Structure 1
Amino acid sequence: MFRLGGVSSFPLPFAGRLFFSPLFSLPPLASHLFARPNPSVSISSTSAASMAAPPVAKKARHEMEMFGDVRVDNYYWLRDDSRSNPDVLSHLKAENAYTDLMMSDVKQFEDKIYAEIRGRIKEDDISAPVRRGSYYYYERTLTGKEYVQHCRRLITNDGPASVFDVMPTGPEASEEHVILDENIKAQGHDYYSIGAFKVSPNNKLVAYAEDTKGDEIYTVYVIDAENGTPVGTTLKEVTSDIEWAGDDTLIYITMDEILRPDKVWLHKLGSDQSSDHCLYHEKDDKFSLDLQISESKQYLFVGSESKNTRSIFYLDVSKKESGLMTLTPRVYGVDISASHRGNHFFIKRRSEEFYNSELLACPLDNVSETKVLLPHRESVKIQDFQLFNDHIAVYERENGLPKVTVYGLPTTGESILQLQGGRTIDFVDPVYSVDSEESEFSSKILRFSYSSMRTPPSVYDYDMNTGTSVLKKIEKVLGGFDASNYVTERKWAVASDGPRVPISIVYRKDLVKLDGSDPLLLYGYGSYEACIDPSFKASRLSLVDRGFIFAIAHIRGGGEMGRQWYENGKLLKKKNTFTDFITCAEYLIENKYCSKEKICINGRSAGGLLMGAVVNMRPDLFRVAVAGVPFVDVLTTMLDPSIPLTTSEWEEWGDPRKEEFYFYMKSYSPVDNIKAQNYPNILVTAGLNDPRVMYSEPAKFVAKLREMKTDDNMLLFKCELGAGHFSKSGRFEKLQEDAFTYAFILKALGMVAPTSS
Structure 2
Amino acid sequence: MTNFPIAPKHPMTREFHGRSFVDNYEWLRDKQSPETLDYLNAENAYTESKTKQLETLTENIFQEVKSRVKETDMSVPTRRGDYWYYGRSIEGKNYGISCRLPVEDGQDPWTPPVIPEEGAPAGEQVLLDVNELAEGHEFFSLGASTVSESGRLLAYSQDTAGDERFTLFVKDLQTGELLEDRLDGIHYGATWIGDEYIFYTTVDDAWRADKVWRHQLGTAQDQDVLVFEEKDEHFNVGVGKARSDKYVFIGLGSKLTSEAWVIEADTPDAAPKLLWQRETGVDYDVDHAVVGGKDYWVVTHNATGPNFEVGYCEVGDLKPLRELNVLMAHSDTVRIEGVDTYRDHIAVGYRRGGIGRAAIMDVRAGWGAFDELTFKEELYTVAIGGNPEWDAPVLRVSYTSFIEPGQLFDYRVATGEYTLLKSQEIPGGYNKDDYVAYRMWAEAEDGARIPVSVIHRADLDRTKPNPALLYAYGSYEMSIDPYFSVFRLSLMDRGMIYAIAHVRGGGEMGRSWYDEGKMLNKKNTFTDFIAVADDLIARRVTTPKTLVAEGGSAGGLLMGAVANMAPDRFVGIQANVPFVDPLTSILKPELPLTIPEWEEWGDPYHDPEVYDYMLSYSPYENVAAQDYPDILALTSLNDTRVLYVEPAKWIAKLRDTASSGEFLLKTEMAAGHGGVSGRYAKWRQNAFEFAWTINKATGATE
TM-score normalised by the chain length of structure 2: 0.96
2:311 is aligned to: 360
1:410 is aligned to: 364
Equivalent AA in structure 2 for residue 59 of structure 1: K
Decide which of 289, 292, 304 is 1:341's aligned counterpart.
Answer: 289
- What is the distance in 2 between the residues matched to 1:128 and 1:680? 45
Question: Are residues 1:66 and 2:16 paired?
Answer: yes
Q: Retained in 2: the 8 A contact 1:179–1:227?
A: no
Equivalent AA in structure 2 for residue 383 of structure 1: E
- What is the distance in 2 between the residues matched to 1:571 and 1:132? 43
Deviations 1:559-593 (A, max 9, x none): 11111111111000000111111111112222222
1:192 is aligned to: 140
TM-score normalised by the chain length of structure 1: 0.89
2:79 is aligned to: 131
Q: Retained in 2: the 8 A contact 1:556–1:577?
A: yes
Alignment of 1:209-228 (within 5 A): 209-228=157-176
- What is the distance in 2 between the residues matched to 1:592 and 1:576? 24
Decide which of 98, 102, 106 is 2:50's aligned counterpart.
Answer: 102
Question: Are residues 1:244 and 2:192 paired?
Answer: yes
- What is the distance in 1 between the residues matched to 2:616 and 2:482? 31
- What is the distance in 2 between the residues matched to 1:576 and 1:516? 30
SS at match of 1:137: strand
- Aligned-pair CA distance for 1:193: 0.9
- Aligned-pair CA distance for 1:346: 3.1
Question: Are residues 1:486 and 2:435 paired?
Answer: yes
Alignment of 1:287-436 (within 5 A): 287-342=235-290, 343-351=294-302, 353-368=304-319, 370-410=324-364, 416=366, 418-420=367-369, 422-436=370-384
Equivalent AA in structure 2 for residue 56 of structure 1: I
Alignment of 1:558-569 (within 5 A): 558-569=506-517
Deviation larger for 558-567 or 342-351: 342-351
Number of aligned residues: 694
1:616 is aligned to: 564
- What is the distance in 2 between the residues matched to 1:539 and 1:625? 18
2:653 is aligned to: 704
Alignment of 1:388-537 (within 5 A): 388-410=342-364, 416=366, 418-420=367-369, 422-439=370-387, 440-510=389-459, 512-537=460-485
Deviations 1:212-259 (A, max 9, x none): 111111111110124431123111111112111122110000010111
- What is the distance in 2 between the residues matched to 1:410 and 1:442? 11
Equivalent AA in structure 1 for residue 128 of structure 2: L
- Aligned-pair CA distance for 1:188: 0.8
Q: Retained in 1: the 8 A contact 2:74–2:117?
A: no
Q: Retained in 2: the 8 A contact 1:514–1:594?
A: no
Deviation larger for 318-327 or 572-581: 318-327
Alignment of 1:726-741 (within 5 A): 726-741=674-689
- Aligned-pair CA distance for 1:164: 6.2
1:84 is aligned to: 32
- Aligned-pair CA distance for 1:367: 2.1
SS at match of 2:279: coil
Question: Are residues 1:580 and 2:531 paired?
Answer: no
Q: 1:297 to 1:352 in 2, by over 3 A?
A: closer
Decide which of 605, 609, 620 is 2:553's aligned counterpart.
Answer: 605
Deviation larger for 657-666 or 168-177: 168-177
- Which structure 2 residue ranges, 5 or more long, are not aligned? none
Q: 1:200 to 1:226 in 2, by over 3 A?
A: same
Equivalent AA in structure 1 for residue 635 of structure 2: A
1:55 is aligned to: 5
Deviations 1:254-284 (A, max 9, x none): 0101110000011111011111111110000
Q: Retained in 2: the 8 A contact 1:154–1:174?
A: no
- Aligned-pair CA distance for 1:444: 2.0
- What is the distance in 1 between the residues matched to 2:351 and 2:273? 32
Q: 1:129 to 1:695 in 2, by over 3 A?
A: same
Q: Retained in 2: the 8 A contact 1:55–1:98?
A: yes
SS at match of 2:408: strand
Decide which of 273, 281, 286 is 2:229's aligned counterpart.
Answer: 281
Q: Retained in 2: the 8 A contact 1:486–1:507?
A: yes
1:181 is aligned to: 129
- Higher relative CO (Cα under 8 Å, sequence separation at least 6) belongs to 1
Decide which of 565, 571, 575 is 1:627's aligned counterpart.
Answer: 575
Equivalent AA in structure 2 for residue 367 of structure 1: L
1:16 is aligned to: none
Decide which of 628, 639, 642 is 1:693's aligned counterpart.
Answer: 642
Deviation larger for 563-572 or 459-468: 459-468
- What is the distance in 1 between the residues matched to 2:205 and 2:334? 40
- What is the distance in 2 between the residues matched to 1:410 and 1:269? 38
- What is the distance in 2 between the residues matched to 1:203 and 1:753? 52
Sequence identity of aligned pairs in percent?
40
SS at match of 2:422: strand
- Which structure 1 residue ranges, 5 or more long, are not aligned? 1-48
Equivalent AA in structure 2 for residue 402 of structure 1: G
Q: 1:579 to 1:169 in 2, by over 3 A?
A: closer
1:592 is aligned to: 540
SS at match of 2:266: helix
- What is the distance in 1 between the residues matched to 2:73 and 2:692? 31
1:551 is aligned to: 499
Q: 1:352 to 1:313 in 2, by over 3 A?
A: closer
- What is the distance in 2 between the residues matched to 1:471 and 1:524? 32
Q: Retained in 1: the 8 A contact 2:552–2:576?
A: yes
SS at match of 1:699: helix
Q: 1:283 to 1:724 in 2, by over 3 A?
A: same
- What is the distance in 2 between the residues matched to 1:159 and 1:121? 32
